[in-house]
Amino acid sequence: MSTGSSAVSAVGGIQAVIVRDLRIALRRKSDTTAALFFFLIVASLFPIGVGPDPQLLRVIAPGIVWVAALLASMLSLSRLFADDYNDGTLEQLLLSAHPLALLVFGKMVAHWLTSGLLLSIIAPLLALQFDLSTRATFVLVITLLLGTPLLSLIGTIGAALTVGVRGASVLVSLLVLPLYVPVLIFGVGAIDASNAGVSSSAQLSLLAAMLLAGLFLSPLAAAAALRISLE
């Protein structure tokens, strides 16, 4: 088989995994809507609790929105491989002619499309509650578009390590939360810089660099974790 044919076949394998997972997500709309409502409710409760002071809301907005997005993206991590493990699909993925890392990447993409992307889209609505400027809102969306894929990439590794383990949801949280901290720091830092009238290009560049590294390393790490978990 030529190199071109192999590349086309690999892309087809990734596409098949993404389409399959998206169809499953459409059949289980409760999982997606639960993450969205969690994000909205958590971020909306803080303005009610701290009061209507616009200056205070602008200060706390970056941390609140980012923590809410981080927690919402974690809700479905424990089920990322669990259903495939229970029905035998995961073993078929390991036996597939396509590289396992590419198939895992397809699952990462599907997870982001049903969690991080949707959270990024509705984030401007939450920015209105915190009286964020147009510039800060734009930076907020950019940080989420750069950071939420990283959350999915890192979270998939944790989900792969805990496949078939009792209490996987708790273990996933313990594994991935420390790894989420740099993403949280740079995401919040970029918005804070924008609020202060300072360029946020440094934080955005670091997020982009982390995302590029994650796109290359995370599928390989998750694939290795799956093989270890299923041995």
DSSP state of 166: T
According to the model, what pLDDT value does residue 1 have? 47
Distance CA 136, CA 131 (A): 10
Query: What residue spans define the domains of the chain?
Result: 3-230
Within 10 A of 144 (CB to CB), how many other CB atoms are there?
24
The mean pLDDT values, 10 residues at a time, for the chain of 231 residues are 60 86 85 87 86 85 92 85 81 83 92 92 90 92 96 92 79 90 95 91 95 94 88 72
* Residue type at position 62: P
* Residues 6+ away with beta carbon under 8 Å from 162: 78, 168, 171, 172, 175, 229
According to the model, what pLDDT value does residue 211 have? 96
DSSP state of 98: S
